[in-house]
Amino acid sequence: MQLIDGKTLAQKVHTSVANEVEQLKQEKNIVPGLAVILVGDDPASHAYVKMKAKACEKVGFYSISHNMPDTISQEEIIATIEMMNANPRIDGILVQLPLPKHVDTDKILEVIDPKKDVDGFHAYNVGRLVTGLDSFVACTPLGVMKMFEEYNIDLEGKDVCVVGASNIVGKPMAALLLNANATVTVTHIFTKDLKAHTSKADIVVVGVGVPGLIKEDMIKDGAIVIDIGINRIENGSLVGDVDFKHVSPKCSYITPVPGGVGPMTIAMLLSNTLKAAKTRA
């Protein structure tokens, strides 16, 4: 069993981005800029935005955060996004999800200029991804693909089971895997027999937010398991969607939680923002 070390790989990406930022500054006098919109006072969202700001500073980005109360109107959020769309210093716009219930998330995401959609959630970029064209791709699935690449895991012809069909993780993950010529099964909350699908898969990618959902008897010997879930349990510790202790001995590769996919999400956000800045250049 080999651990897929997301922390070390993310660090590698950060270093590469920082070097390219320096080059961009010197050659084109361009500093990549990222704007984050944060609505409400959800502690997890605030912590995550703080981590993003720290990462931006580290690689030499210009970054700003628009913190808004959860009572703010949809129109005011849209006006802020439109202001960022028009700001030449901003290459990437990120709206931290989830948004309050009175706000239409789809509407908000559609307002973002697709050329600044570094989260890869705009319908334009999703459409390009599905059709195999160059696009901005959701950061978490993109991070998983980077891991496969780093560990020389060949996806062609592999049976892959994606557990979870969210717009943020499951669907873009499935599209990326299909584009890499894997045979993909997508399971979700209405799937009748989850084990029947996961136990046959060469690779299982899970991201649903259910601690310990994937048990030892649901994985075949030698499978590769990518755990995207991150859950805080009663004792305060962080765990994934996989019963790591019992599943890991059966795997050829597995991601730990924390220290697996998590750090790669922010690394890919930096990579996407750099890509947008280079397009501007």
Give pLDDT, residue 111: 98
Q: Please choose, from the candidates 136, 199, 114, 209, the residue with its C-alpha nearest in 3D space to the C-alpha of residue 170.
A: 209
What domains can be seen in the chain, in order of their start residue?
Answer: 30-121 (3.40.50.10860), 139-262 (3.40.50.720)
Distance CA 281, CA 275 (A): 10
| pLDDT tens by residue, the chain, 281 residues | 999 999 999 999 999 999 999 999 999 999 999 999 999 998 889 988 999 999 999 999 999 999 999 999 999 999 999 999 999 999 999 999 999 999 999 999 999 999 999 999 999 999 999 999 999 999 999 999 999 999 999 999 999 999 999 999 999 999 999 999 999 999 999 999 999 999 999 999 999 999 999 999 999 999 999 999 999 889 989 999 999 999 999 999 999 999 999 999 999 999 999 999 999 87
Q: Given 91, 96, 117, 146, which residue is catalytic?
A: 96
The DSSP code for 98 is P
Annotated catalytic residue 52: yes
Q: Could you tell me the pTM of the whole model?
A: 0.96
Q: Please choose, from the candidates 244, 271, 272, the residue with its C-alpha nearest in 3D space to the C-alpha of residue 260.
A: 244
Give pLDDT, residue 257: 97
Distance CA 34, CA 275 (A): 12
Q: Please choose, from the candidates 202, 191, 198, 192, the residue with its C-alpha nearest in 3D space to the C-alpha of residue 243.
A: 198
Annotated catalytic residue 159: no
Give pLDDT, residue 198: 98
Give pLDDT, residue 44: 85
AA identity, residue 270: L
Annotated catalytic residue 192: no
Give the pLDDT confidence of 57-83 residue by residue, as tens digits. 999 999 999 999 999 999 999 999 999
Q: Please choose, from the candidates 200, 196, 153, 198, the residue with its C-alpha nearest in 3D space to the C-alpha of residue 177.
A: 153
Q: Given 91, 116, 117, 119, which residue is catalytic?
A: 119
Which residues are CB-neighbours of 2 under 8 A, at least 6 positions away? 151, 252, 253, 254
The DSSP code for 89 is T
AA identity, residue 104: D
Q: Given 52, 146, 158, 171, which residue is catalytic?
A: 52
Give pLDDT, residue 256: 97
Give pLDDT, residue 43: 86
Give pLDDT, residue 280: 86
Give pLDDT, residue 236: 86
Give the pLDDT confidence of 23-52 residue by residue, as tens digits. 999 999 999 999 999 999 988 899 889 999
